[in-house]
Structure 1
Amino acid sequence: MSGVGPVEPGEGTHIQQPSPAPQFTPQRGRPAPLGRLLGEHRRAAVAAGVTAALLAGGGYLYATRPQPPPAAAPPYPSQVVDIRYLSRTVSPDPADFRFDVALSVLSGPPVTVTAISQPYAGLSVTASPRPPFRTEAGSSRKVTITLRATECGKIPGNAGLPFLDVTLRNTRAIEMHSFILGSRYARDLSQARQAACGPE
């Protein structure tokens, strides 16, 4: 044989084909490849981050939402109660000065009258209905008040602007308020004082 060339196979021989590279297929019970694990971990972390961002954004929106205006506080009782002198009424005892007033509650929650008094030490006060009594908004009630002369020297003979002190209560406050009942009340009170105590 002469010349240079590839060696040819002899008789009865054949060429072997190289076997293909083995393919990796994960089996049950065996861990997944590292790359796949890292990808799944990355997706879970991103999902958790998105969820946290949504929750934080929702919390911020809830905390900074416009607040409704607070409900208006009810009025003070003295702002919604009106007491008007009606007339003097007959009393069987000349030492008593009895008269009627109209007590009205104009608006707001109900108002309770807890006490009625007056400034003169020589007069005692009783009322019917007897305090405490309650009056609803938008209604009026007649109250009969009796002043009894107990010490004439402590009752002025000619009171200029006599008034009643009335203690009022509602859901907002408790107040003592002085109601001036006008010139007719002052005149009637002066006449009753003269009838009970004589000329000054």
Structure 2
Amino acid sequence: MSGSGVGPVEPEGDTHVRDTDPAPDARHVFLPRWSPRRRRTVAGAFLAAAVLAGGTSLYLTRPRPEPPPDPPFPSQVTAFTYLDMQVRGSQGTARTFEFTIQTFMESGPPVTVLRISQPYAGLTLTTAPTIPFGVKSGSPRKITVTAEVTECGKVPRNAGLPFLDVTLRNTHAKEVHSFILGARYAQDLSRALQVACSNEFR
């Protein structure tokens, strides 16, 4: 028996359902292929960044240098020595005499001599060079001091341990220091005062 009708439509070709493409395995994902020049450029950039980061870390963690020490006090590096004395007058006709001292510095910044005085109220001093003047390390300076007796009753007949009060200044401090010039200066000063005030010392 023949008949006609529409049967089920058969798909053409393969009737098997195809599996979908599997998702790519992350382990097999490849980066874009770079040229050797580009790889060198990228590697250099990473290396430079690493060096910069390391240098910054070293800079931030480096030990801080110790601050420089303060300069010494001027009296610690300045000295005065007695050289000689000359009496101008005699028998009270002139109450002035001169003596020479020398000052020098051992080290440090320059020192300025602001004042030279002594403890006797009846004796005044002037200097050449005129105060203030500077003293540098390694360059001694001679100072001529002119002393004038203004009142014999206020100077000693025998100066046992005379000294000079010197005001000094450097970049660190300003200070007054007493310098003892030694036994020879004491003897010469006593002799000069006796000459200047011979009539009043009798």
* TM-score calculated relative to the size of structure 2: 0.69
CA offsets per residue over residues 82-101 of structure 1, 9 Å max, x none? 10000013536731121000
Find the counterpart in structure 2 of residue 86 from structure 1: 83
Consecutive unaligned residues of structure 2, counting only runs of 5 or more, are 21-48
Shift of 1:135: 1.0
Give distance in 2, aligned partners of 1:195 and 1:180. Answer: 23
Give distance in 1, aligned partners of 2:177 and 2:60. Answer: 44
Q: Is 1:127–1:145's contact at 8 Å kept on the other side of the alignment?
A: yes
Shift of 1:62: 4.8
Structure 1 position 179 matched with structure 2 position 175: no
Structure 1 position 133 matched with structure 2 position 130: no
Structure 1 position 157 matched with structure 2 position 154: no
Find the counterpart in structure 2 of residue 103 from structure 1: 103
**1:88 partner letter:** M
In structure 2, relative to structure 1, the CA distance for the partners of 1:90 and 1:195 (3 Å cut) is closer
**1:182 partner letter:** G
Shift of 1:64: 4.3
CA offsets per residue over residues 48-80 of structure 1, 9 Å max, x none? xxx9xx98xx57x65543111211211111011
Q: Residue 140 of structure 2: SS of its match in structure 1?
A: strand
Find the counterpart in structure 1 of residue 11 from structure 2: 15
Q: Is 1:98–1:144's contact at 8 Å kept on the other side of the alignment?
A: yes
- Of the three residues 39, 43, 64, the one matched with 1:67 is 64
Shift of 1:191: 1.0
Find the counterpart in structure 2 of residue 169 from structure 1: 169
Q: Is 1:106–1:139's contact at 8 Å kept on the other side of the alignment?
A: no
Find the counterpart in structure 2 of residue 29 from structure 1: none
Find the counterpart in structure 1 of residue 28 from structure 2: none
Instruction: Name the Cα RMSD after superposition.
Output: 3.0
Give distance in 2, aligned partners of 1:193 and 1:164. Answer: 16
Q: Residue 127 of structure 2: SS of its match in structure 1?
A: strand
CA offsets per residue over residues 25-60 of structure 1, 9 Å max, x none? xxxxxxxxxxxxxxxxxxxxxxxxxx9xx98xx57x
Give distance in 1, aligned partners of 2:87 and 2:190. Answer: 16
* TM-score calculated relative to the size of structure 1: 0.70
Q: Is 1:100–1:145's contact at 8 Å kept on the other side of the alignment?
A: yes
Q: Give aligned-pair identity as a percent.
A: 53
Give distance in 1, aligned partners of 2:88 and 2:70. Answer: 43
Find the counterpart in structure 1 of residue 73 from structure 2: 76
Give distance in 2, aligned partners of 1:147 and 1:84. Answer: 17
Give the paired residue count.
159
Give distance in 2, aligned partners of 1:97 and 1:73. Answer: 41
Query: Where does structure 1 differ by over 2 angstroms across 4 or more consecutive aligned residues?
Result: 16-21, 61-65, 89-94
**1:194 partner letter:** Q
Give distance in 2, aligned partners of 1:88 and 1:62. Answer: 63
